Amino acid sequence: METLFRVKVIKRGSRVHPLPRAATSIDPTFSYGGKTFTVDQYMAAYNASGVLVIKDGRILLERYAMGRKPQDRWTSFSVAKSVTSTLVGAAIQEGRIRSINDPVTDYIPELKGSGYDGVTVRQLLMMSSGVKWNEDYADPKSDVAVAGSVVEDPKVNPIVSYMRRLPRANPPGAKFNYNTGETDLVGVLVSRAVGKPLAQYASEKLWKPYGMERDGIWVTDLGGHERGGCCMSMTLRDYGRVGQFILDGGKAEGKQVVPDWWVGQATTPQLTSGTRERGYGYFWWMPDSGAYEARGIFGQSITTFRDERLIIVVNSAWPVAGSRELAAARYAFIAAVRQAAKAV
């Protein structure tokens, strides 16, 4: 991604958080759609470039395909939303964001007089602002396709400029509506609150203290601001470390990076998402399996089973942004990995 788009670097530190190999590895097979798959066969059939399974902080399975190597970064798409959520928690821990119940306009005053009047930070994190938004990836005229594509006012971030023109469709907090533009707004909100670029803040709060193995990169919008809702790139193991950081309660180097209550709220259902899933937290999904999940289009996911201390990372290059069949195959794979991990 860094060869195609403008990006900012999330700098790593001098220490790497260890991910040692477990004494026993797993290599499950599973059935889906009338076929039996090995791990390698699943990866080939569903364009997975990397699979990583961590239990109790140790690697049970690590596999690469499509020419990818352990040092190669892979784009997150919307998995970045869950990292942005974590940076909100860090800003709260520092007192830079006073409360998740603060009005969004306290931090982005350019939104005053728009559909975001009266919307709180928490409602943005739950994607329930009530502002009208179309997230159809196949529609070139949808909001997600055109938001921030033009710099109308050099003094106003292009995504802020676009979002403040949108009408309200529902009362704030009443209904979930998946909205990448609002996660970009949250990214702007965090950087305004802490007075730093998002990439620098992510480096200071996560990459350096927790010990990521390689610099990350973050794609920027036309205004040069990191996309809060999309497009970080990191190694497969660093995806695993993001998951482990949250599973460890948001601590790094023995210090609480986010408030002790933050991880619990962010990764448990705060409202129903209008799907068959359990609900949505603060930029984290809650699938019916009982896990919590960071998820991005084209097959990116960090799935965590809290009580089992199990993290499953999948990076993919699906031929479309998403479909029921592709998602169902991934969940069949995740279920087989979970079952194999229980035996270890």
The reported pLDDT for the residue numbered 1 is 87
pLDDT at residue 4 above 80? Answer: yes
Question: For residue 180, what pLDDT band results from cuts at 50, 70 and 90?
Answer: very high
| Span 263-279, pLDDT tens digits | 999 999 999 877 778 99
| Span 49-62, pLDDT tens digits | 999 999 999 999 99
Pair of tokens at residue 216: 């990350």
Start-to-end Cα distance in the chain: 37
pLDDT at residue 339 above 90? Answer: yes
Q: In the chain, at which residue ranges do the beta strands (DSSP E only) sit?
A: 7-10, 30-32, 35-37, 48-55, 58-64, 74-75, 216-219, 232-234, 251-252, 255-256, 279-280, 285-286, 292-296, 300-305, 310-316
Angle at 322 between CA 292 and CA 6, to 5 degrees: 90
| Span 64-80, pLDDT tens digits | 999 999 999 999 999 99
Question: For residue 47, what pLDDT band results from cuts at 50, 70 and 90?
Answer: very high
Question: For residue 261, what pLDDT band results from cuts at 50, 70 and 90?
Answer: very high
The reported pLDDT for the residue numbered 154 is 84
State the average pLDDT over residues 218-229: 95
Which residue(s) pair with 310 in the sheet?
Answer: 55, 305
* % the chain with pLDDT above 70: 100
The reported pLDDT for the residue numbered 274 is 73
Question: For residue 5, what pLDDT band results from cuts at 50, 70 and 90?
Answer: very high
In contact, 316 and 323? CB cutoff 8 Å: no
Cα distance between residue 317 and residue 75, in whole Å: 10
Which residue is it, tokens 């996911």? 301
Cα distance between residue 95 and residue 92, in whole Å: 5
Supply the mean pLDDT for the chain.
Answer: 96
- State the pTM of this model: 0.96
| Span 131-153, pLDDT tens digits | 999 999 999 999 999 998 888 88
Pair of tokens at residue 321: 């942004």
The reported pLDDT for the residue numbered 277 is 86
**For residue 131, which of 165, 155, 100, 167 has the smallest C-alpha distance?**
167
Cα distance between residue 242 and residue 15, in whole Å: 15
Question: For residue 11, what pLDDT band results from cuts at 50, 70 and 90?
Answer: very high
pLDDT at residue 82 above 90? Answer: yes
The reported pLDDT for the residue numbered 273 is 77
Which residue(s) pair with 217 in the sheet?
Answer: 9, 233
In contact, 84 and 235? CB cutoff 8 Å: no
